[in-house]
Each structure stands twice: as structure tokens, then as C-alpha cells.
Amino acid sequence: MGNTSTRTALDPFQQVCKNWHEAAKNVRTFNRLLSSDAQIARTPKQLVWTLNKAKLYRYSPMVDPHPRHKTPLLLIFAIMNRPHVLDLRPGHSFVEYMLKQGYDVFLLDWGIPGPEDKNLSFDDYTLEYLPRAIRKFQSITGAQQFSMLGWCLGALISTLYAALRPDDGLKNLVLLTAPLDFSDKAAGGFSRWASDAAFNADRVVETFGNVPGEMIDAGAKMLKPVENFVGTYVNLWDNIDDVGKVSAWHAMNTWVRDIIPMAGAAYRQLINDFYKHNRLVEGTLSLRGEPVRLSQLRASVLNVIAESDHITPPCQSERVMSLFGTEDKAVHRVRGGHIGIMAGRGAEHTTWPHIDQWLAARSN
Amino acid sequence: MSENGTRTDPLDPTGVLKGMRDAAMTNWAQMMTHLVNTEAYAGATGAMLDASLSASAPFRKLMESTMAQSLANLNMPSREDFIRLAEQLTHIEMRLDDMEAKLDALARPAGGGWNRTES
């Protein structure tokens, strides 16, 4: 009797102690995840070219040369984030996936602009840095034709290049969440904020030179404030025992926290020429005096659109398709957000295979 | 909001609380997303940012000129000097890149085409 009553009295107490122990362990894990960096961008690569802060990397092939695709692939990411999201973590990396599918993969990393780069504009990125990187890339691979994949502002730069240099070997162009058409001013927070008469991009650039990464990061997070400032941490806490989800969260958070400034002149151009005046679609955009005509774009185009994208709403990418000069063009809509369609858990079953199939048919 | 929140046991008090939390957060998130997408929010943040930058401009300019003068008096290079130097280095890098491209072209076999290299 006595033993039974002692046991029943102790069991709840032991349970409480166990729960506290578990909670303390979870708090320690939570703190560690918030204060440390995950190992990201681990796929082996060689630096093959540099110019100012820009670096061109070639990833080490993962398949023998024989079954490899003849047309190499150049990846271009946005200018205000690090490109590591393309190679997030081993086992869940777009770069790794494409290498295994037999592509010769290169990455152009724009680098982190310093105060001396405040005058870098889309003119420089499109007509100075990118052509030079491509020249080196063609020299190394020996391939005169190549494929290019641009994501976010990287897709904008890729589109500008494709329209201005249609004869320089670009065969296939993959655009991911490409912000190109800003005619709908009410589409998404950025469009509305940037188009507002009170928003003065010139003043921001005059003040800061380069636009601080913290300001860009805060702006992006304010598009969905509760999800970004609260929800992400609540989700982490709820899934803290799930090793797979925790490691995915940690990798993504490491990338999100790695914020960089944006070159002032490019920011001014993005707000004034693109968001406010929609010059690319209106046909009034010139880079270094050369008019940009989307009808000149002759590469095959795959335009991948995220249906729940709050940064680049689908209308900013989709309507522009009719303006491209190429006959071989396709839109692929994917369920997911701006980053999730390429770095989310489902990307390797949805977006990546589609890109591979589309490119493979045009890469030999 | 959370994936676990959709599978709560109604007899578990923490599960019920979690469900209430998730429902509250979903409503809060919808309300905030709607708020930041309004004309009023766009106008207010734009005006606030512009006002704060305009107000700080005279102090910033004063600080910059004072610092530049102080460094000049100490025979020290200023931030602007370093920026000019870095820009010149980039221009030199571009010339080197042009020369490298010409060398690459010369190194190409006479029959045309490039050598395919493997690392």
C-alpha cells in the first residue's frame, strides 16, 4: 500500500522534473540556433575569376565528362543578398542537384559592395561585370553557347543582358521570381511603398551611399511582419525536437541573417526607373545609352513564378512574357513563396526537376 | 501558424492553448499584412523616412566636414581618399581583365574554339 502511494505521488513529480529538463534542453537548443551559423554553401568550388568584389566560381563536377551536358549553366543571384541560398546545405542544394544531373555549373557572386561601389548601377552590373564574367566563363568551358539562371534581381539583370546582348551565346534563360513589370502599383507591398510619392529613394542614397542591408532586410520582413518577426520563431519552438526541420530552419536562418548593403546607384535605379516608372516594360529604359528592347531577347525562356510570392507578385513576371522576342518561351507556376520555391522542402520534387527537364532538352 | 497546432488533442490543455495561440496569430498576421499593404501605410512610412533623413542631413554633413578637416590637419587620409583609391584599383583591375581576355584569345588554338578544361 505504502509503496503504491509513494509511487503515485512521485510519478507526477518525476514527470514534471522530466518536462522541465526537456524544456531547459529545448531553450538551450533554441538559443544555440539563434546565435550560431549553420554550415551552408558547402559544395566544392573553385574561384576562376574576380573583378572588384565580384567572383565567378566553378563547382566541381559530380558526374563524368561523358554524360555531362554540353551547355554550361551560369547562376546569377540578386545583388542585395548572398547567393548561398542556391547551395543551402548538403543534400538540399540546387547547385548539388544540377551537378548530379550533369551540368557544368558556375556561380557569379556579386560580392558585398563597399563605400567605393556606391555608384554601381544596373548599367555596370549588366554591361561591365556580367559580360566580363561570361567572357571568362566561355574561355574556361570552351562552350560558345550557355544557359543562364537568374533569381530575383539576378533575373532582372539576366533579362537586361539577354535583351542587350542577344548574339553573345546565351541559349537558354531561366528566370526565377523575376521582377520585370511594375505596371500594377497595387500588387504587393514593395510596389505600393516604392511607388508612393512620399518615398524618396534619392534621399536614401544621398544619406547612406549604399543602402544598408538592415534597411532592406527590415523592408522585406515588414511585408509579412507577424510571420517574419514572430511566426518563424514560434514554428522553430514547436518543431524543436524534429532534427530535419531544425537543421533546415537553421540553414535558412543563417542565410537570412547574412545581410549585405545594396549599391546606392542600383537602388536608386530600381526604385525610380523600375518601380516608379516601369521603364523596362514601357520601352524607355536605356543602359549606357543603349535602349533595352525586350523584343530583342532571342534565347529560350523558362519563367518560373511563385504563386504566393509577396516580394515579386506573379503579375510582375508573367505579363512581360508576350514582350520577349523569342518563340520558345514557357511559364511554370509553382506553389510557394519567393524563396520557398527554390529552397523549401518541396523544391527538389517540384521546381528543380522541372528546371532540369526544360534545360536538359536544350543543353546538348 | 504552426504545423503542430492543427493536430491538437482537445483534452490536452496545452494543445488547446496552442490552438488558440495559432488562431490568434493567424488573425494578427492577416491584419498586419493588410495594414502594411495600404496606401496610408505606404504614405506614412515614406514621409517618416524622408523626414528623419532630412532632419539628420545637416548634422551628418557637419560631422563629415569636421572629420575630414580633422584628418587633414593630422595629415591622415580621409574616407573619400580611400574611396578614390579603391575606385582607381577597380579601374586597373578592369584593364588587367581586358589584358587577360586578350591573352586567353591568343592562347586559343589556331583552328578556333576554346580548350575545354576540367578541374
Query: What residues in B contact A227, CB-CB < 8 Å?
Result: 1, 29
B94 within domain boundaries: yes
Position A165 scores a pLDDT of 96
C-alpha distance from A351 to closest chain B C-alpha (Å): 23
- B27-42 burial, b at 16+ Cβ within 10 Å, e below that, comes to ebbeebbeebbeeebb
The answer to whether A58 faces chain B, any CB pair under 8 Å, is: yes
For domain A45-360, the question of CATH label 3.40.50.970 is answered with no
Flag residues of chain A having pLDDT under 70. 1-10
Amino acid identity of A324?
F
Position B10 scores a pLDDT of 61
Residue B100 confidence (pLDDT) above 50: yes
Query: What residues in A contact B61, CB-CB < 8 Å?
Result: none
Grid cell for residue A17: 522534473
C-alpha distance from A200 to closest chain B C-alpha (Å): 6
B83 within domain boundaries: yes
B31 within domain boundaries: no
Query: Angle CA(A201)–CA(A203)–CA(A205) in degrees, nearest 5?
Result: 70
Position A315 scores a pLDDT of 94
**pLDDT category of residue B118 using cuts at 50, 70 and 90:** very low
The domain total for chain B is 1
Sequence ranges of the domains in chain A: 45-360
Contact in structure between A57 and A106 (CB atoms under 8 Å) = yes
Residue of A nearest to B49 (CA): A199
The answer to whether A42 faces chain B, any CB pair under 8 Å, is: no
The answer to whether A196 faces chain B, any CB pair under 8 Å, is: yes
Query: What residues in B contact A188, CB-CB < 8 Å?
Result: 37
Residue of B nearest to A186 (CA): B37
The answer to whether A289 faces chain B, any CB pair under 8 Å, is: no
CB atoms within 10 A of CB A31: 10
**Cβ <8 Å between A52 and B39:** no
Residue B80 confidence (pLDDT) above 70: yes
The stretch B49-65 carries a mean pLDDT of 91
Position B109 scores a pLDDT of 66
**Cβ <8 Å between B49 and A196:** no
Position B19 scores a pLDDT of 87
Q: Considering only residues 209 to 228 of chain A, which have any Cβ-Cβ distance to chain B shorter than 8 Å?
A: 222-227
Contacts of residue A103, Cβ cutoff 8 Å, sequence gap at least 6? A68, A69, A72, A73, A359, A363
Domain limits at B96?
A: 77-109
B103 within domain boundaries: yes
Please say if A17 is a catalytic residue.
Answer: no
The answer to whether A241 faces chain B, any CB pair under 8 Å, is: no
Task: Give Cα B38 to chain centroid, integer Å.
Answer: 24
Query: What residues in B contact A197, CB-CB < 8 Å?
Result: 43, 46
Residue B107 confidence (pLDDT) above 60: yes
Of B18, B53, B118, the CB nearest to A65: B118
Of A52, A139, A199, the CB nearest to B114: A139
Beta strand A45-51 with A54-59 is antiparallel
Please choose, from the candidates A85, A79, A84, A83, the residue with its C-alpha nearest in 3D space to the C-alpha of residue A113: A79
Position A12 scores a pLDDT of 77
Grid cell for residue A167: 548574339
The answer to whether A63 faces chain B, any CB pair under 8 Å, is: no
The stretch B54-62 carries a mean pLDDT of 90
